[in-house]
Amino acid sequence: MTDLEPIERLAAVLTLTEFLLARIAEDEDRANLASATQWFTTHNIQGRATKQYGTLTAEFMIRWDPARVLAECEAKRQIVAQCVDGLRCDMECLEGHGGNFDDILGALALPYTDHPDYCEEWRP
């Protein structure tokens, strides 16, 4: 994406930004739905979750507690906003200074490569 002219680069990043914000919203919606049901907690991991799923799966389920996913969604939104603000602020200072915000956004999109709207040119 860095071979594009500054205005084209910004437009490409904004498309990637829209994609990321949509995926983050989907993750958030799923976490909100999951938190409406009973979720496994550290307190009951030794009991029902471990017996039903095994220790490793139960520990994985706790790690992806809906509250944690919601916090991660908020953190990702903040990263996206800071990258877009950085690109808008000064496209010239990015060249040759390691400020490749579009690469950061591309990295954030990597977990969604299996989504039909993902574009390979976003890959860092």
pLDDT tens for 74-113 read: 999 999 998 888 776 755 555 544 457 888 999 999 999 9
Which of 23, 18, 21, 12 has its CA nearest to residue 111?
23
Q: Domain boundaries in the chain?
A: 6-37+66-122
In the chain, % helix, strand, coil (3-state, to 5) comes to 75, 0, 25
Question: What letter would DSSP give residue 86?
Answer: H
Which of 102, 97, 123, 99 has its CA nearest to residue 111?
123
pLDDT tens for 53-79 read: 677 776 777 777 888 899 999 999 999
